[in-house]
Structure 1
Amino acid sequence: MRNRDIEHWDAEDVTAWEAGGKDVAKRNLVWSVFAEHVGFSVWSIWSVMVLFMPTDTFGIDPAGKFFLVAVPTLVGAILRIPYTVATAKFGGRNWTIFSALLLLIPTLLTLYFINQPGTSYTTFLVVAAFAGFGGGNFASSMTNINAFYPQRLKGWALGLNAGGGNIGVPAIQLVGLLVIATLGNGYASLICAIYLVLVALAGVGAALYMDNLRNQKADLSSMLTALKVPQSWAIAFLYIGTFGSFIGYSFAFGQVLQISFKAGGDSTAQAALHAAQIAFIGPLLGSLARPYGGKWADRVGGSRVSMYIFAAMTVAAVVVAVASTLGDRSGGVPSGAAMIALVAGFIALFVLSGIGNGSVTTIIPSVFAAKSKSLDASQEARAAWAQHTSGALIGFVGAVGALGGVAINLVLRSSYASTASATTAFWVFMAFYIACTLVTWAVFLRTPGRRADSDVVVAAESMVLAAEAAPQPFSSVSASSAPRA
């Protein structure tokens, strides 16, 4: 087997890139997407399992189920910090193998305990927490792919990597739908068995086809350096609104639908089936939209696209809130029109959050590309600094963004517990999107005025567009030393 360690990698060297570097990057991207895809599926496995857990059998009410699916979201968010560092420390290939095979633990635990209705709620919380392993995969995968691709292609590459991973959410929901529709809601263990095979395939594929970049760096010192840049905190806040919305709604949408269908007169089994038939659509469309958010941002500018998206998400949240309010006024039973509006508004939120995921992510490397210009260093050293700090920040931003998913499920839980409705939660979400719109404008798009640094992202994105038109190669990797597929 050939050596899987690449000692020197410079994606900005156009000659080396065309001589074989792009083929190496593409191969690593494919398997990174697959491993992250399986990770997202395992991370969201309990959003499907709760559809197989009738309240009268398992004794867990809707508020309890919202908290149950929030636990893996929280664990996954916390793990994104060490996962970011691990990729550079152990190598992208090595860490992908390990983190993929680690998913066997939550999958096996879920396989066993989902067949034990008498299990305590605390035990279910612990088992669900292990599913958080899948949430950490995003940070390590994004940091790794960020190192493989040049600045001019990062938006598309990172969007494709993240979008392919995000599709893991609707994928496992589709598997759940297939099982419920064909076998009934007593065969949840079959879903776990299918994913045991996919987890093993992800680990083997990473071992055979991925590479380690030995000059990659994304340690805690790089992360601390990145956090000293004020715009980093604004980006993290915005990512709560995009990725936090995507993952939070992905975990909660099925439950919201199941509660609504049951209020409309469906039996428990019918409500689960009807919810499963719709729940996967939003995450699927949101995942597919993510790469195009990155591509659009590459051409127009991440900050400008993000502001448009948050404004649109505000409108979509109003639609969902109004539809839910109409259902409340009819005794908790939504009319056909209100139900259609609720579903349409939710799907719009998924699509918009997917586009926003891509656009917000592309702001990160552009900020540090602009910041590096102020360093008293060679062009090569500035490029390395921008690469390391942006890679480290991706993990931090991903962790903070995932906490938004926890917040969504907790707000929904509180809303249902206090009012037996999600309406209050939807109005809260709307207010948050307004805040995100204002932050995007104030930090990244407002006329600089006296603050010389306030327009750094706009300047950075202009540099990216200029580089796209006339790329300037760096010299650390020669054409003859370009790694080949």
Structure 2
Amino acid sequence: MQPVQAPVLGPQVDYRSLVVVLLSPLAFALVFASWTIFAVLGVELKRVLLFGEVQFAVLLAMPMLTGALAALPMALLARRVGGRRVMIGSLLLICPLLWAIAYSDVYLEFLLAGAGLGLGAGSLAAGLVYVASLCPRRHAGLALGLYGAGMLGAGLTYFLLPLVSQAYGWPMAPKLFLLPVLLVALLLWIFAEDAPRMPHAPLDSLAEPDGARSESPSWYWLPPPAVCRLALYYSFFYGAFVALALWLPGYLAAQYALPLKQAALWALAFTLPVGIGQIVGGALADRRDFRDLRWWVSACVMVCLFLLSYPDFTMQIHGVHGDIALRFSMPLGGFTALLAVMGMAMGIGKGSLMCLLYRDHGDDMARSGGLALALGGLFAAVLPLMFVLGNEWIGIRTAGFMFLYAALAVCMLLMLWDGARTRSSPLTRHSSQPPSQAD
């Protein structure tokens, strides 16, 4: 009887683990806050520099695109040279780009600076590998959930940038993040230590001992199908959150005629529950296998997207005693309540899925986690253009939610097909019979 692969082992809680768990989310938050600068600043720039809607969408998507392209290579580089070094290098890399945004005055300069900010994804991917290599196995989901909660950095942008821009002008806004980024990089350099090198499957090995089949470096870049499936599921929640975090301030300002500062504060109703839900999802996944949780989470998100997709409309019914006019307009309170519920569900889904990636493929977190971030970044880069398609060409502002609804439906169909194929596999049925081999 072939034994099931044992769960990946992690170190016990010590000083080094606590430093990593505390500092890595701060680095994540600052990188993500720098990415969402254009979510708030871009609305003002569009008015001052006369950006078009398509140009604005491309500006939002550019950090996501370059970040997606950099995620997997940076994760593999972190496995080779150490996550701490890659994180520090990525944080230092975005500093001159933040400074350059303050002195840009044409669209191309903003676009190039945004593309450079995307390279900060090296810090996200390297931090994921770093946390996974040092976090204690018993609390891996909680540690990874705390790390993923660094996406709350979007809330920092929502809260501070309108205040700074109003008081000192928009060129001062990107400089606001320079000192915190440099400070976190300094703390990582002083207090954090490099994780121990993984003794198995080294990146630069061309052959395995004992006559095992050789593995070329090009083949190493191709993850197993099981990793691809989990990464695909994760990419929807990650990509949808990133795109909505970039899009919501402008959407709220246009849909409900709100000042930018007030619209950004209302958008916190989505970002805060996502961060909290990610911690909850990771902590729950530490206690039991939450593979089936993705169905409940996906169903909750789908219901919210269905309701958010409804545009304002008027319906006239020819009744017996005259015409009856029905009007529907989503109130701001109802909209933000749905965002909060959807954000909590998305966060729980992200936290539990990342814990599953660690439990099933934690011995190769560079590929599995890097691929999940890469696919999520690509999905996030496509979404702003889809939102503009709905606004400008279709003429329905809520078409972005409709596209997310369709994308989630496709994702759930793939999950259903994958579950049916797994249950029908003879090897799966045979291996699932003994109680001792239960996951």
TM-score by length of 1: 0.76
Compared CA separation, residues 228 and 95, structure 1 to 2 (3 A): closer
Aligned to 1:62: 53
SS in 2 for 1:132: helix
Aligned to 2:254: 259
Q: Does residue 149 of the first structure (1) align with residue 149 of the second (2)?
A: no
User: Is the CA contact (8 Å cut-off) linking 1:311 and 1:433 kept in structure 2?
Assistant: no
How many Å apart are 1:435 and its aligned residue? 2.4
Aligned letter for 1:255?
G
Aligned to 1:413: 388
User: Is the CA contact (8 Å cut-off) linking 2:277 and 2:347 kept in structure 1?
Assistant: yes
- Aligned equivalents of 1:414, 1:455: Cα separation in 2: 49
- Of 379, 399, 403 in structure 2, the residue corresponding to residue 424 of structure 1 is 399
Compared CA separation, residues 209 and 25, structure 1 to 2 (3 A): same
Q: Does residue 282 of the first structure (1) align with residue 270 of the second (2)?
A: yes
- Of 122, 137, 144 in structure 1, the residue corresponding to residue 123 of structure 2 is 137
- Aligned equivalents of 2:403, 2:56: Cα separation in 1: 20
- Aligned equivalents of 1:142, 1:339: Cα separation in 2: 36
- Aligned equivalents of 2:374, 2:84: Cα separation in 1: 22
How many Å apart are 1:361 and its aligned residue? 1.0
Aligned to 2:224: 229
User: Is the CA contact (8 Å cut-off) linking 1:305 and 1:356 kept in structure 2?
Assistant: yes
- Of 360, 363, 375 in structure 2, the residue corresponding to residue 367 of structure 1 is 360
Aligned to 2:113: 127
- Aligned equivalents of 2:366, 2:84: Cα separation in 1: 16
- Aligned equivalents of 2:353, 2:406: Cα separation in 1: 19
Compared CA separation, residues 124 and 397, structure 1 to 2 (3 A): same
How many Å apart are 1:358 and its aligned residue? 0.7
User: Is the CA contact (8 Å cut-off) linking 1:444 and 1:456 kept in structure 2?
Assistant: no
User: Is the CA contact (8 Å cut-off) linking 1:255 and 1:275 kept in structure 2?
Assistant: yes
In the TM superposition, what are the counterparts of 1:444-459 in structure 2 within 5 Å? 444=419, 448-453=423-428
User: Is the CA contact (8 Å cut-off) linking 1:316 and 1:345 kept in structure 2?
Assistant: yes
Aligned to 1:212: 194
Count of residues in Structure 1 that have an aligned counterpart in Structure 2: 410
SS in 2 for 1:303: coil
- Aligned equivalents of 1:196, 1:40: Cα separation in 2: 13
- Aligned equivalents of 2:50, 2:24: Cα separation in 1: 39
SS in 2 for 1:59: coil
Q: Does residue 175 of the first structure (1) align with residue 160 of the second (2)?
A: yes
Aligned to 1:92: 83
User: Is the CA contact (8 Å cut-off) linking 1:314 and 1:431 kept in structure 2?
Assistant: no
- Of 82, 99, 102 in structure 2, the residue corresponding to residue 108 of structure 1 is 99
Q: Does residue 396 of the first structure (1) align with residue 391 of the second (2)?
A: no
User: Is the CA contact (8 Å cut-off) linking 1:302 and 1:461 kept in structure 2?
Assistant: no
Q: Does residue 42 of the first structure (1) align with residue 34 of the second (2)?
A: yes
How many Å apart are 1:458 and its aligned residue? 12
Aligned letter for 2:397?
A
Aligned to 2:3: none
User: Is the CA contact (8 Å cut-off) linking 2:293 and 2:349 kept in structure 1?
Assistant: yes
Using the TM superposition, name which of 433-442 and 25-34 deviates more: 433-442
Q: Deviations over 1:231-265 (max 9, x none)?
A: 22211221221101111111111111122134xxx
User: Is the CA contact (8 Å cut-off) linking 1:303 and 1:457 kept in structure 2?
Assistant: no
Compared CA separation, residues 460 and 61, structure 1 to 2 (3 A): farther
Aligned to 2:19: 27
Compared CA separation, residues 458 and 108, structure 1 to 2 (3 A): farther
User: Is the CA contact (8 Å cut-off) linking 2:64 and 2:377 kept in structure 1?
Assistant: yes
In the TM superposition, what are the counterparts of 1:261-410 in structure 2 within 5 Å? 261-262=256-257, 271-322=259-310, 324-326=311-313, 337-368=330-361, 387=363, 389-410=364-385
How many Å apart are 1:212 and its aligned residue? 0.8
Compared CA separation, residues 214 and 223, structure 1 to 2 (3 A): farther
Aligned to 1:238: 233
- Aligned equivalents of 1:434, 1:348: Cα separation in 2: 18
Aligned to 2:243: 248
- Aligned equivalents of 1:200, 1:75: Cα separation in 2: 22
Q: Which runs of 5+ in 2 are unaligned?
A: 1-7, 205-215, 317-326
Compared CA separation, residues 345 and 143, structure 1 to 2 (3 A): same
Aligned letter for 1:47?
A
Aligned letter for 2:360?
V
Aligned letter for 1:144?
Y
Q: Which runs of 5+ in 1 are unaligned?
A: 1-10, 263-269, 369-385, 465-485
How many Å apart are 1:299 and its aligned residue? 2.6
- Aligned equivalents of 2:16, 2:368: Cα separation in 1: 24
Q: CA RMSD in A?
A: 3.2
How many Å apart are 1:327 and its aligned residue? 8.7
Compared CA separation, residues 37 and 222, structure 1 to 2 (3 A): farther
Q: Deviations over 1:150-206 (max 9, x none)?
A: 43322111111111x2111111211124335x63xx622332222110111011101
- Aligned equivalents of 2:26, 2:191: Cα separation in 1: 12
Aligned to 2:44: 52
SS in 2 for 1:212: coil
How many Å apart are 1:60 and its aligned residue? 0.9
Identity %: 20
SS in 1 for 2:423: coil
TM-score by length of 2: 0.84
User: Is the CA contact (8 Å cut-off) linking 2:39 and 2:246 kept in structure 1?
Assistant: yes
Q: Deviations over 1:52-96 (max 9, x none)?
A: 2243x3111333212210111111111101210121222222222
